[in-house]
Amino acid sequence: MQNTINQNDINMLRAELELLMRERQCLLKVTGAAAGLIAEMNSHDLPLTTVEAADLLATTINGLSEETLQDALSSVHAEIVD
């Protein structure tokens, strides 16, 4: 009985981990696409409200670790050009 409970727990945790990994991949794609969009924007051509929204997005993206940002850019086949 104890072995069955442990196996059920393991299966439940495995399913949850797989769900979280799929969500992470989706979020990395969104973040990578957003980072690419921000990098290509010319703020001089945009309304102030759009620039403010882009600034908030850029600030949030810049708060990511370097590794996470690289994963996000890789997920959309983008790279940072210095």
> Taking Cα atoms as reference points, which of 61, 62, 67 lies closest to residue 30?
61
Q: Are 74 and 36 in contact (CB under 8 A)?
A: no
H or E element that contains 30: helix 2-40
The model carries a pTM of: 0.79
φ, ψ for residue 47 (rounded to 5)?
Answer: -65, 155
pLDDT tens, residue by residue, 20-72: 999 999 999 999 999 999 988 888 889 999 999 999 999 999 999 999 999 99
> Taking Cα atoms as reference points, which of 52, 72, 48 lies closest to residue 61?
72
So where are the chain's domains?
A: 2-75
